[in-house]
Amino acid sequence: MRYRVAIGTTVVALIIAPVSAAATWSWGFNYLGNSSSNGNCMAPAVAVPGAVCSGWNYWNSNYMDKRGGGYVYLGWQKDAYTSGFIGVSGVTQVATVPSTVGLGGYLKSAAEYVSGAASYLQTQAYS
């Protein structure tokens, strides 16, 4: 009986562990242009429409695989008035960490259209 409980506890722990270890948010591949929105970004710090954002979380980093198009921002949103980004253009891969753009804590990962053609890209956030 004691062994069955131990085995059962181990199985439950193994099932739960991957879920609680790291959360991932992903958007795309899709076109990010001046009319794009997934309804998660907060204006005026991030354009709405014209941007896609993750939900709130204690994210550690984000990533973007941009396959073409114009100029976009990748970064983080703290609230409706506070954001930090880097700007990227062309075909590129890029990743950022919140503290590097001066933010931390409970955040949204944000990808924002700035100018030029809509960009075909995928973006992800990791906790």
CB of 49 to another protein, least distance (A): 17
| Phi and psi angles of residue 51, each rounded to the nearest 5 degrees, phi first | -155, 160
Closest CA to 112 of 99, 101, 4: 101
Minimal distance, residue 110 CB to another protein, in Å: 10
Backbone angles phi, psi at 101, to 5 degrees: -105, 20
Q: How far is the CB of 35 from another protein (least distance, A)?
A: 21
Nearest-5° Cα angle at 64, 37 to 87 = 80
Q: What is the dihedral of CA 68, 72, 78, 83, to 10 degrees?
A: 160
SS3 50: coil
Q: How far is the CB of 19 from another protein (least distance, A)?
A: 19
What are the residues binding another protein (CB under 8 A)?
45, 60-61, 63, 65, 71, 73, 75, 81-97, 99-102, 114-115
Our CB check for another protein shows the closer of 8 and 106 to be 106
Give the C-alpha separation, 85 to 25, whole Å.
18
Minimum CB distance to another protein smaller for 10 or for 93:
93
Choice between 107 and 114, CB closer to another protein: 114
Query: Considering beta carbons, is residue 8 or 104 the nearer one to another protein?
Result: 104
